[in-house]
Structure 1
Amino acid sequence: MKMIWMKENALASQLSRARALAALSVLLVALPSTAAANPFDVYGSGARSAAMAGAQVASAEGPAAVYDNVAELAFARPGIRLGAFATLGQAQILLKERPAGYDVPDLDGNSPALPSDQTRRGRSDTMELAPLYGVVIGAVTDFGSERTRGGAVVMLPTNGLLSMQTHFADERERAFSNQLHFELIGERLRRPVIEAGIARELTDWLSFGVGGTYLPGARATTEAYVRDPADQSDVGLNADIQTTNAWGLLAGATLTLPADLRLGLVYRGQVAFAIEGGNEVQVRGAGSGEDTRQVISWIPTSSPASLRLGLAWSPGDVVLTADARLTFWSSHLDTQGQDAGFTDTLEARLGAEWQSSADTRLRAGLGFVPSPVPAQTGRTNYVDNHRALASIGAEHRFALWKREVVAAWYVQAHHLLYRTTDKDALSSYPDCAPGETRLCDEVPDDTRDPRTGQPYAEAQGLQTGNPGFPGFSSGGWLGAVGFELHY
């Protein structure tokens, strides 16, 4: 009987490897080439990661290790994991009441800026964040080797596979939404994730892994022919759109130390979803070579480079983890491709896991994520908050059709620490010129009436339609719930 059981177990292991390898091939080859910023940065890469506040650099399991520390793949069991999750929350940006006397005047059509009474949308608060629903698919294969593993993890949003939005962080946004936007949460997270890697246990105490996170991009040129400049609705358009590819490097190492300790080190390279190109506009009656060229340089979403260090201690039935993440936000470009002026951040996360019974593991985690956004007292209105997070979860093992199946769940909550901003009051305000970072005057004091040559009285002092003037506040909470099945 023992020999028969061993043969059946070996056959099951081979089938598991074959299924995992097939699934991995499908994930890498058959998925649509659409991806963008990484929601794993906020909520975690799987049920165990999310339940332990993402503190997984030295203790990652399964395909989630591709994100948390690709070197940890070397210890992963071959198999397939399927999961689903939903996010919810109530985060708000409340605008302070505008004082009178700062609106942009019409000046009989001679104003250098859009007059306030011609703005399409009224200045308004931002009252909610769109939820995110998604599925997570992961696979690990051992390639028939004892010390080598390959894996992939994919997250697919189910409420819209791809969402791209851009906005201005200064007074120009008044001509569009006339609102402020959360810079690093919300729509930025509604993107698929595609990551893959390979790892090898080099010695009994050292493993190493490499991989990549994939983001496509686009190069788009639009040619427009305007037959009648007085009728802007009569325009002929042609488009030339080409896809581009971007890869972010993933690299990790794990050291197994005495006293049940494990040390992990991870580097995640910068990667961005970029749309480059422009518009070429030809107007009937214009001379040859007099086309108007408009440059497009959008970055709807990006993930900065980061360096992560983790420590795990596993005495007996308990696993304790601690992570530190240094994220290089100082290189971050906003959705219009402009330097945002952010600062690098150092965040901390703690996790715990307890084998409460032969079939159950309980999990919990805490973390603090500082905001890279400095006080927005000048021209820009980047909105972000420090976040304190807590999470719980569990894993349950049971038999299904004579095979072991694992079901895991988690609940996670983030508190966005309340933040208030007031624009600096200056003795005199500079003109709104490129490169100006202070709150600026949209109608310079020397703006003159072309009929009289005299400065407009209405142009004196500060005129601004900046949605963030004179100040704003932000805060709220985020949450996520999810489950996962391992086969």
Structure 2
Amino acid sequence: MRRAGLLALLAGTSAMLLAPSRASAHAPGTYGFGSRGAAMGGAVAADAVDFSAGYYNPAGLVGAPGLSISLGYAYSSNDLRMNDQPSGTRDVHGLSGGLVAPGTLAGIPFAFGLSTFLPDDGLSRIKALRQETPRWELYDDRLSILFLAANLAIRPLPWLEVGGGLAFLASTRGGFKVKGRANVLSPYESKLTHEVDADLTTIRYPQLGVRARAGDLGFIGLTYRGQAQLPLAIDANLNGIVDFAGIEVPLAYELESRTIDGFLPQQLVLGLSFQRIQRLKINLDLTWVNWSAYESPVAKTRAHLDAETPPGLDIDLPDDPRPTVPIPLDFVDRIVPRLGVEYLWAAAGPLRDVAGETTPRRALEVPLRVGYLYERSPIPPQTGVTNYVDTDRHTFSIGAGVWWNHPGEVLPGALKLDLHAQLSLLPERIIEKASAADFVGDYRARGTMVSGGGTLTAAF
């Protein structure tokens, strides 16, 4: 038995443990949350009063005209390329929705809201790569994960709304154990048992929001989202006997891996919503994203092998691997501008009283929306060993809907169907390596992302 035989066995065990699933972006932050927010480029921090306020600005929940329940679906097709070859980035798709329940407490208006995004292909994904391996860091390694937010909001003054709560994400922890007898010459005669133990753990971070009325001009909103990181902990343990031509060698192999599998930076959003012109809303959001705090996704591992070698048998055991030293990322904070416009067309039908509204509304109304955002890449040129791929992002969005106001006594509010579509363009970025001997070499990166979806809301 030589070193190669042992390494092959251990490599196979580690591969089963660390085999990555393809990961995807955190959907609410990248593709929008709900069809209205997505159609307006996410520029709704001063204007969201439905379930999406649970992400954009919790204070807006108290502005809801009444109880509402929403359910939606969105799909994003990601075509991200390096040197004109597909990078294998997964598409992102899932359900979104929530509820808003307003009321009064001691004469003070308040509201409770629940908001969620549920991927329809798994609650949590993991991906572990070496820092030299090229990857679209902000879209490939940021997770497609379960998002849930619970918030409360109050209106202490007629012109002031305040809200906040907690957002929940799902992280993964797991273990892998193998024991038994492995026959090197006759693998089918091996008798191995394995045990896998994995669970989801909850990661919480705060959300706070303020919304103020600026006279008849509209609203000003301010939102804070806390930082969240998803630790990934995997432990592997192998105990058994390797049988090589009748020579039995007991061995034990231990592996520990610790990494930050997902990182959501803290954000501060200033939103303006101009509503002086009847039925027209023009929104502008500026989002500060604390990318400089981004933590390296490189795994910190410890591995050790013990073997009881029979007397006179020459077995050259491999040394314990050196620990990986993550290279500083040096990401840069960014300001992301977002613009959204909405016009509500009173399409047809008689005027009707709508629950929660002070003035009658047409039976059928059609909202028309457009949006735009520009996100400059926070990742510096990858001229050294690391290959965290990214480019700037221009996102154009459109949307429309049909609102059926007061369709019946059971539904004194409205039945709303909203649709949206997005196109994100990631212009080409050329990376030139400082060393001509770099293993990866120079490369070009570019891409497009096409998204669409709908949201159905019942307002009571």
* Shorter-chain TM-score tier: 0.7 to 0.9
* 1:260-281, Cα deviation, whole Å (9 max, x unpaired): 2321111111112222243344
User: 1:476: which partner in 2?
Assistant: 447
* Contact 2:25-2:141 at 8 Å conserved across structures: no
Matched, 1:92 2:49: no
Matched, 1:327 2:289: yes
Distance 1:479 1:218, change over 3 A: closer
User: 1:256: which partner in 2?
Assistant: 213
CA distance in 2, matches of 1:361, 1:481: 17
Distance 1:311 1:217, change over 3 A: same
* 1:18-75, Cα deviation, whole Å (9 max, x unpaired): xxxxxxxxxxxxxxxxx99631111111111111100011111201001001111111
User: 2:429: which partner in 1?
Assistant: 419
1:134: Cα distance to partner?
Answer: 1.7
1:416: Cα distance to partner?
Answer: 0.5
Distance 1:356 1:306, change over 3 A: same
CA distance in 2, matches of 1:168, 1:240: 24
Q: Which amino acid aligns with 2:205?
A: G
* 1:210-242, Cα deviation, whole Å (9 max, x unpaired): 111112334434444475696897655445555
Matched, 1:405 2:415: yes
Q: Which amino acid aligns with 1:336?
A: V
Matched, 1:215 2:215: no
Distance 1:207 1:240, change over 3 A: same
Where does 1:438-453 land on structure 2 (aligned, <5 Å)? none
CA distance in 2, matches of 1:416, 1:273: 26
Distance 1:247 1:364, change over 3 A: same
> Out of 264, 271, 274, which is 2:231 matched to?
274
Distance 1:183 1:477, change over 3 A: same
1:341: Cα distance to partner?
Answer: 2.9
Matched, 1:365 2:371: yes
Matched, 1:486 2:457: yes
User: 2:338: which partner in 1?
Assistant: 349
Structure 1 gap ranges (5+): 1-34, 96-124, 174-179, 427-461
* 1:62-115, Cα deviation, whole Å (9 max, x unpaired): 0100100111111123210111122124221128xxxxxxxxxxxxxxxxxxxx
Q: Which amino acid aligns with 1:262?
A: F
* Contact 1:165-1:187 at 8 Å conserved across structures: yes
User: 1:39: which partner in 2?
Assistant: 27
CA distance in 1, matches of 2:297, 2:42: 27
* 1:387-423, Cα deviation, whole Å (9 max, x unpaired): 0111111232125455331111111111102111011
CA distance in 1, matches of 2:173, 2:141: 22
* Contact 1:53-1:366 at 8 Å conserved across structures: yes
User: 1:147: which partner in 2?
Assistant: 109
Matched, 1:308 2:269: yes
> Out of 376, 381, 391, which is 1:385 matched to?
391
Where does 1:75-86 land on structure 2 (aligned, <5 Å)? 75-77=63-65, 78-86=67-75
Q: Which amino acid aligns with 2:92?
A: L
CA distance in 2, matches of 1:141, 1:127: 43
Q: Which has the higher strand share?
A: 2
Q: Secondary structure at the match of 2:138?
A: coil
Where does 1:279-294 land on structure 2 (aligned, <5 Å)? 279-282=236-239, 292-294=253-255
Matched, 1:395 2:405: no
Q: Secondary structure at the match of 1:142?
A: strand
Distance 1:389 1:197, change over 3 A: same
* Contact 1:86-1:131 at 8 Å conserved across structures: yes
User: 2:58: which partner in 1?
Assistant: 70
User: 1:200: which partner in 2?
Assistant: 154
CA distance in 2, matches of 1:136, 1:239: 31
User: 1:136: which partner in 2?
Assistant: 96
CA distance in 1, matches of 2:99, 2:202: 23
Distance 1:36 1:185, change over 3 A: closer
Q: Which amino acid aligns with 2:163?
A: G
CA distance in 2, matches of 1:349, 1:36: 22
TM-score w.r.t. the length of structure 1 is 0.70
CA distance in 2, matches of 1:36, 1:214: 18
Q: Which amino acid aligns with 1:328?
A: N
Q: Secondary structure at the match of 2:157?
A: coil
CA distance in 2, matches of 1:334, 1:472: 22
Structure 2 gap ranges (5+): 1-22, 243-247, 300-325, 347-361
Distance 1:228 1:209, change over 3 A: same
* 1:276-297, Cα deviation, whole Å (9 max, x unpaired): 2433444659999x96542211
Percentage identity across paired residues of the two chains: 25
User: 1:23: which partner in 2?
Assistant: none
Q: Secondary structure at the match of 1:265?
A: strand
> Out of 203, 212, 216, which is 1:246 matched to?
203
User: 2:14: which partner in 1?
Assistant: none
CA distance in 1, matches of 2:273, 2:178: 59
1:130: Cα distance to partner?
Answer: 2.7
CA distance in 1, matches of 2:394, 2:198: 42
CA distance in 1, matches of 2:296, 2:399: 35
* Contact 1:325-1:347 at 8 Å conserved across structures: yes
CA distance in 2, matches of 1:210, 1:304: 18
Q: Which amino acid aligns with 2:119?
A: P
Q: Secondary structure at the match of 1:156?
A: strand
1:143: Cα distance to partner?
Answer: 4.6
* Contact 1:36-1:193 at 8 Å conserved across structures: no
CA distance in 1, matches of 2:403, 2:191: 65
CA distance in 2, matches of 1:398, 1:243: 41
Distance 1:415 1:315, change over 3 A: same
Q: Which amino acid aligns with 2:147?
A: V
CA distance in 2, matches of 1:364, 1:355: 12
* 1:431-465, Cα deviation, whole Å (9 max, x unpaired): xxxxxxxxxxxxxxxxxxxxxxxxxxxxxxx5x6x
User: 1:109: which partner in 2?
Assistant: none
* Contact 2:141-2:262 at 8 Å conserved across structures: no
